[in-house]
Amino acid sequence: MPVPCLPTLTHIRNAPSNERFVTTLKEWDITDETFFLGGIEKKRILDVLKPHIFFDDQMNHLKPACSTVPSVHIPFGTMNAKPLPVTAKTTFSPS
Q: How many residues does the chain have?
A: 95
| pTM score | 0.62
Kindly give the confidence (pLDDT) of every residue in the chain, 95 residues in length, as a single tens digit, with 9 standing for 90 and above.
Answer: 666 666 777 766 666 666 777 777 778 877 667 777 777 788 888 898 888 888 888 888 889 999 988 998 888 777 777 776 766 565 555 65
Which among 60, 13, 3, 53 has a CA at the least distance from the CA of 37? 13
Please state the φ and ψ torsions of residue 83, each to the nearest 5 degrees: -65, 145
